[in-house]
Amino acid sequence: MKQIYNIEKEGNGYEGEQVLSLRIGEKHLGFAISSSHLEQASNELLRLVWYSAEQTWNHELEDLYAAHSELKGKFSKILVAYDHPQSVLVPPAAYTGNDSLLLETMYGVNGSHSVIAQDIPGWQLKNIFAVPGLVKEWVTRHFPDGHIYHNYSIAVRLIDNTAMEGSLLIDFRNNDFVVLASKGNRLLMAQTFSYTTFDDVLYYLVKVCTEFGFSQQQVKIAVTGLIEKESNLYRELVQYFLNIRFREPSWVLPVKEEDNYPSHFFTSLNDLALCES
């Protein structure tokens, strides 16, 4: 595994209640530890960690657990997000209850996966998603009290329902990126794309805009994740899209000057931490 960042608050630590937010995808692992306050969102950040990997199976997860003793601490709340792309969002009226068959048809999901079906509060949608069985077993063994989410279920709640000209929520990882396309309060698409070059990214985004009739001059784009403002990818994006911004976390970041990480690197972990605030 390759460590992307490992940031810790300076000082003697925090003695109060703590929240663990853990995200696991096919090729990434990350977690945050934040303070817990009774009448407000968790906003004091104590630890931020992110890894990329060729794969994230039981061996990589056990390596993470062994390398970070803080994961063995006591938490007032544990939030786990699966970022795996095998997911289908369906309205309740169209839900047949045959979860495995639906994912098998669309993604080739087989018996080595665990299938989970969850309602998305505030939306007339059910998220049916698959997680590798070994990954789910690891989470259940180490974090049996964890509250489970899926990447798309979290992102749907962040849709800008005022964007009648169209909106794209984009989250970049090392090898893939997630896109949620919406228009007003209507979700049009949630999908994960793999990429190697910035040409791949532009191809998919232009294709999405064409598919849904979005103007590249008017569509609102909010970007998070592992993309820097000085990168070639970002420079290309602003050449093609006029209304683009970074979506920042609400956390007060304990980033030292020498770390110099853009704060939007951590937004997806912040989104998870705020799910039950």
In a domain? residue 124: no
Q: According to the model, what pLDDT value does residue 15 have?
A: 61
In a domain? residue 17: yes
In a domain? residue 170: yes
Same domain as 260, residue 227? no
In a domain? residue 150: no
The confidence band for 100, taking pLDDT boundaries of 50, 70 and 90, is: confident
pTM equals 0.92
- Give yes or no for a contact between 151 and 158, defined as CB atoms under 8 angstroms apart: no
Q: According to the model, what pLDDT value does residue 10 have?
A: 75
Mean pLDDT of the chain: 90
Same domain as 12, residue 33? yes
HEC letters along the chain: CEEEEEEECCCCCCCCCEEEEEEECCCEEEEEEEECECCECCCEEEEEEEEECCCCCHHHHHHHHHHCHHHHCCCCEEEEEECCCCEEEECHHHCCCCHHHHHHHHHCCCCCEEEEEEECCCCCCEEEEEEEHHHHHHHHHHCCCCEEEEHHHHHHCCCCCCCCCCEEEEEECCCEEEEEEEECCEEEEEEEEECCCHHHHHHHHHHHHHHHCCCCCCCEEEEEECCCCCCHHHHHHHHHCCCEEECCCCCECCCCCCCCCCHHHHHHHHHHHCCCC
For the chain, the residue count is: 277
Which range of 62-71, 93-102, 107-116 scores highest in mean pLDDT? It is: 62-71
Same domain as 256, residue 200? no
CATH of the domain at 205: 3.30.420.260
Q: Is the pLDDT of residue 98 over 90?
A: no
| Domain hosting residue 69, numbered range | 2-83+250-273
pLDDT average, residue stretch 112-137: 92
Same domain as 192, residue 172? yes
pLDDT average, residue stretch 56-78: 94
Please count the structural domains in the chain: 2
* Per-residue pLDDT tens over the stretch 35-50: 876 445 456 888 999 9
Q: According to the model, what pLDDT value does residue 257 have?
A: 52
- Give yes or no for a contact between 229 and 262, defined as CB atoms under 8 angstroms apart: yes
Between CA 82 and CA 85 the distance in angstroms is 9
Same domain as 264, residue 200? no
Between CA 131 and CA 82 the distance in angstroms is 7
Pairing of β 220-225 and β 244-246 = parallel
Q: According to the model, what pLDDT value does residue 149 have?
A: 97
Between CA 147 and CA 78 the distance in angstroms is 6
Q: According to the model, what pLDDT value does residue 43 have?
A: 67
Same domain as 264, residue 204? no
In a domain? residue 8: yes
In a domain? residue 108: no
* Per-residue pLDDT tens over the stretch 131-149: 999 999 999 999 999 999 9
Tokens for 262, please give them.
Answer: 């853009």
* Per-residue pLDDT tens over the stretch 10-39: 764 556 789 999 999 999 999 999 987 644
Question: Which amino acid appears at position 217 of this protein?
Answer: Q
Question: Which amino acid appears at position 156 of this protein?
Answer: V
The confidence band for 106, taking pLDDT boundaries of 50, 70 and 90, is: confident
In a domain? residue 198: yes
In a domain? residue 21: yes
Q: What percent of the chain has pLDDT over 90?
A: 73
Same domain as 256, residue 227? no
Same domain as 269, residue 226? no
Structure-model confidence comparison of residues 96 and 212, the more confident one: 212
CATH of the domain at 52: 3.30.420
